Amino acid sequence: MTVIITASELAEALAGEEPPVLLDVRWQLSLAKAAGAPPFDGRAEHAAGHIPGAVFVDLDRELAAAPGAHGRHPLPDLAEFGAAMRRAGVSASRPVVVYDGGQGWAAARAWWMLRWTGHPDVRVLDGGLPSWTGELSTRVPEPAEGDFVPAPDAAGLLDADGAAELARTGVLLDARAGERYRGEVEPVDRVGGHIPGAVSAPTTENVGPDGRFLPAAELKDRFKALGVSTEAPVGVYCGSGVSGAHEVLALAVAGIPAALYVGSWSEWSADPSRPVAVGADPQ
């Protein structure tokens, strides 16, 4: 099953007899609050215009719990997540398509949450809303209640100890920008650097200038060059489990299964007892 869908394929699916449930997860990491500017408002963006039928999903409130000891975007309460998905019309027997404003990170987080909790058919709109050439709507959708009940797969999730172990026994990819991996800058978390043994693999390098994923063969070659093989398990982390989900999605495009450390650097770096590596060397 493919994990991404083009805008033309989505338009065709929406016009079909059994259209997919469409989720709008516009969100962006914003440091504007520190500068006194208003934060990004995905719900307002959705109200101003969305793909017809798309239901807004709030990443900070429905795809994550409140920030705390387990990071800036820890896993949400699964009962609450399931209720939010059912309110959005999600059912186990109906395909789901997710999109965001084009960066792909938020849509990937929704994709990962649904796949990890057992939904069999979820795809991300490649290129996000900017790739959509059809009309937009300001009409508030009123979907019928869905029936989706989350059933998590432990194999797809890493905790801090699991991430540390995978960095020694498999391949742990760090999806953040290279300068954050090296510890040269750290705009959000307590300290800069990376989990010892992790490999720098910025998720921004998985897409082209238009924000769409590179072809599967190119992604496969990229990950192979980073040490990914069929013999060793693969995991991903980032700052708070959002851009890392985008890297897990890129790996899936390349046909490579991977687990996500949701707590990521925001959880790891908050614990002074955890080791921190700096520089370009994984160790």
Distance CA 105, CA 254 (A): 17
- Helix then strand count (H, E) for the chain reads 10, 10
Find out whether 172 and 260 touch, Cβ atoms under 8 Å.
Answer: no
Distance CA 198, CA 156 (A): 18
Distance CA 117, CA 137 (A): 30
Q: Position 195: which residue type?
A: I
Distance CA 87, CA 26 (A): 18
Helical residues (DSSP H) of the chain, grouped into ranges: 7-14, 42-48, 59-62, 78-87, 105-116, 160-169, 178-181, 216-225, 243-253, 264-268
Distance CA 153, CA 163 (A): 16
DSSP state of 164: H
Active site residues: 238
| Residues paired with 4 in a beta bridge | 124
